Amino acid sequence: MKNEQVEQLNEESQARVKRFVDRLEDELIKQNMTVPVFAKKMGLTRRAIYRWMLGETTMKLDSYYKALEVLEIDDDTYIKRESDVKNSN
């Protein structure tokens, strides 16, 4: 991969993670899961989760994939669902 492609992939990944974190609270509500329960399943503290949600820290890509696993969301399905919501507005 060329450096430009790697950089673009990183930007796309960062944007995907940011969109996910922006919608994390809604997803937890939808799944009837509390932040403490989610944090425990992630192997993290509640504070770490809240700091993502408040934008104080950035979720790393490996945590993003772990969160998808914990919430039983497929990456492609999540992205498709996200674009469907965008298109309906």
44 vs 42: CA distance, rounded Å: 5
Is 90 exceeded by the pLDDT of residue 53?
A: yes
Contact 28, 38 (CB under 8 A): yes
* Domains of the chain by start residue, with CATH: 3-88 (1.10.260.40)
pTM of the entire structure? 0.76
Contact 27, 72 (CB under 8 A): no
Is 70 exceeded by the pLDDT of residue 41?
A: yes
Mean pLDDT for the stretch of residues 56-66: 91
Our CA angle for 20, 26, 30, nearest 5°, is 120
Please give the C-alpha separations between residue 11 and each of 18, 48, 49, in angstroms, as whole numbers.
Answer: 10, 22, 22
